[in-house]
Structures are given as structure tokens and as C-alpha cells.
Amino acid sequence: MRRVSLFLFLGAWLVLAAQARAQSQWEQQVLDQLRSAGDVLGPDGYSLRGDPHTGTLKNESSEDFSIVLEGGVRYILVGVCDNDCTDVDLRLLDESGQEIDSDYEEDDVPMVEAGPARAAQYTVHVYMAKCSTEPCFYGVGVFASGAAPAQEVTAGAPSTQNHRGRLESGDSQLSSKEYYDRYSFQGNAGEVVLVDLFATDFDPFLILLAPSGKDTQNDDYEGSANRSRIEKVLGESGEWSVVVTSYEAGETGAYELSITTMRGAPGTIAGAGARFESGTLASGDRELTSGEYYDSYPLSGNAGEHVVIDLRSAEFDPYLIVIAPSEEQFENDDYEGDAQRSQLAMELPEDGDYRVLVTSYKPGEEGAYDLRIDRTAAAGTPGARVEQGTLAAGDDTLRSGEYADSYQFEGRPGQQVQLDVSSSEFDTYLMLIDPNGEHTENDD
């Protein structure tokens, strides 16, 4: 009964949705729907826990994100989407990748429920089944019943919003004519907030506004023209705003923004799962045998731990190398075809001290870069799998004569899969063949 009544309530609300304060009218629709969901679930003792997770997806695409659920608490996760979406689905997975609950009904208000016996990390899978005008905004709110007081539950546990957006002609403008997007979050005095903004299309500028209107600003964090960052102990309780804008008027382009809040001393947020480094490749740095400058960062890890290492630069073609304790080497260049970005998402194969090398594709390249290392337990990444192999004479061959190795996995509609192959010894080519024999291929 709750599922039906919530669907009807939100459906009626869509006609009256207010449009303010978020990146766009579509994201505002999502946030206000979740507030309305709270009104429906409130009489049953449920209240919204933390900030909603929001994002955008194209038709028939999906995304995963992780959450921590406390033991002894009942949860309902509610998904919503904007007016251009008519069907979005949710799936909740535990630490081992087993499904706890799912909602694949043909509607735009999916709900999944959980009542964990102990605190643990879970994965939420969002599938955009029907989106008429791409991309569609979606949101997921976590509603809890029987929770401990907020200060006891949230102490030390970070809450993160991730946003991808664009500054473009037609956006709101500051009085000095820079385009801007605006985001909001609820903050309490004494909490720590870390706001991180990254863009390669323009020089990003970040403004944090307190409920009283006082502002904190940052440009060129640690000298990087592609990054702005603010870490601050909140001095007021209420609704805070984050303004994403540019250093100069008229600049446009894509950006990525994260807003993380938690209780604790400044400097503790990055240690909760993400590590940021900014540096510069320059004459006088150490060099690889092939002549490229490089910087090295230590990374201690355990076998089975999942890490995502992301390297970006607008000044040179970045190249990423991870060297395991056994000297096994993993490499990436031009992640998803982007000559300004390299990324490795991997499950660590052994315990010990790893080295992360930041270098360039060609010898002699110099410039500033930003490095981010995210780490979670492998249990929080269902299905993570790493294979090593060698193409050699005697392998199977394609009709056109290339050697080939093949691997199999089980999949289901709506699941997201990411395949990454790298080699420093040959030009890799990747093919994904579905059960019907249809091919998806990628090179470089």
C-alpha cells in the first residue's frame, strides 16, 4: 500500500514542482520529489538520512554508488527521476554482491527495503529504463526508522554528493558576468565540509555560502588551474550553498563536483576513502628509462582491496603506472579516449607497498596535474575481477589473424559492466560479445 500511495502522491506533485536552487530545473524536480517522499513516509516513522544521491543517466544506462547502513535500523531507499523519465529501477546489494531487494517495476518511483543486523557497506544500482530526453536526472533518498540520534549515527561517517554538470550560455550569471550553477546541502555547526571542483574546459572558481550569506572562495587550489577546493569547519547550522563558476566571464565547459560532510577535525575527510595530490612534472624530476619525467606516490594496500586511481592534466598527455610489491605493472593512457585523463580501477592482487607513478605519454612533457586515489573494500565492489595474460603464438586467432584470449562472465539486464585492458607491449583491442552474438568493440 505504501508503494502505491507514494507513487500517486509524487505523480500529482510533479505538476506543481518548484524550480530553484539546484543546477537545473530537472535536478530541482528530483530533490523536491524526495522531500515529498519524506512527507509520505514520515507518519510511519521514517526520515531522510543524510543528503540524497543525485546524478544523470542516459536511456538504458546504469550507475552504482555505495552507502553505509547501520545495524538495527529499518531502511527504505526511494528513487525518483525528472519529467523526461518514465521508468527508473533500483537494486540493493550487500558486501558480497548478493541482492537484498530490487524494484524493476515499470514506474518512476522505485523503492527497496533493508533491515541490516550490523553496520555494513551496500551498493545501490540505478538503472534508467526509459528516458525520452537524454540525459535524465535521478535521485535516491535513504529513509530510516528506529535510528539513533543524528549526532550519534553520523559522527565520523562522511556523506557525499557527486555532480557532473556544464557551465554554458543561458546559465545564471554573477554580477561580473561569469556563468554559474548552484547546489545546496544541509550542514550543522561543527561539521567539516570538503568541496572539490575539477574542470579542464575552463578555470574553475568555487564559492561556499553560509546560511547567513558569508562566503568562502577558492581558485587554483595548490596552483592547479583545473581545480578549486574548500575544506571548512561549519560555523552555522542550516542550508549551505555551493556556487560553481569560472575565473573569467564567459567561460563554459564540463566540470565534476563533490561535496562531502562529516563530523571531525579538518583534514579527516580525505582519509575516509579519497586521497588528493597535486603536482607538476618538470625538468629536474626523475626520469623513466624512456626519458619521461615522473613523480612517485606510495600506496599501501591489501589483496582484494579495490582502488580507483584517476590522473588528469590539461598541460600534457598524462600516463598512469601502478607498480605492485612484486613489481607487476599496470598502466593506462587516455581513459575513455580522453587525452587529458588516465584512470586505473583495479582490485589489488597482493598485500604490501605499491607505487603510483605519474608520468607523460612522450618524453620531455611538463605541466601541472591532479591525482585522486579512491579506495574501498573489494566487498563493496560486487563482481570486481582482475585477469592477467599473454598473447602469444599458439593462441586462438581471429579470422583476420590476430591472436585472442577470451574470458566469460554471467550478466543480467540492467547491470553495468566496465572492462579495462592495458598493455605496454602491443596495441590492445577489446571486444564484448553478448549472448546473442552482438559485438561492442573499442580500440585506443
Q: What is the pLDDT of residues 361-392, one digit of tens each?
A: 999 999 888 888 876 543 333 444 556 677 88
- Round to whole Å and give the CA distance between 94 and 120: 8
Other C-beta atoms lying within 10 Å of the C-beta of residue 314: 18
Q: For residue 2, report the phi and psi dihedrals to the nearest 5 degrees.
A: -65, -40
pLDDT exceeds 70 at position 149: no
Please report which helix (H) or strand (E) contains residue 146, including its range: none
What pTM does this model have?
0.38
Please report which helix (H) or strand (E) contains residue 48, including its range: strand 47-48
Of 111 and 272, the structure prediction assigns the larger pLDDT to 111
Of 308 and 419, the structure prediction assigns the larger pLDDT to 308
* CA atoms lying within 13 Å on the CB side of residue 51: 24
Q: Which residue has the cell 610489491?
A: 325
- What is the per-residue pLDDT for 18? 31
Q: Which of 98-112, 160-174, 263-277 has the highest mean pLDDT?
A: 98-112
- What is the per-residue pLDDT for 337? 82
Cα distances from 138 to residues 81, 128, 382, in angstroms, run: 4, 8, 22
Residue 164 region by backbone torsions, left for phi larger than 0, else alpha for psi between -120 and 50, else beta: beta
> Which of 347, 351, 285, 354 has the alpha carbon at shortest distance from 321?
354
- Round to whole Å and give the CA distance between 266 and 231: 7
Residue 268 region by backbone torsions, left for phi larger than 0, else alpha for psi between -120 and 50, else beta: alpha
Cα distances from 266 to residues 20, 173, 222, 233, 425, in angstroms, run: 31, 32, 17, 7, 44
Residues making up the chain, counted from first to last: 444
pLDDT exceeds 70 at position 202: yes
Contact 292, 362 (CB under 8 A): yes
- Do the strands 204-209 and 238-246 form a parallel or antiparallel pair, or are they unpaired? antiparallel
Cβ within 8 Å of residue 425, ≥6 positions away:
none
- Proportion of the chain above pLDDT 90, given as a percent: 31
- Round to whole Å and give the CA distance between 284 and 218: 30
Mean pLDDT score, 69-92:
91
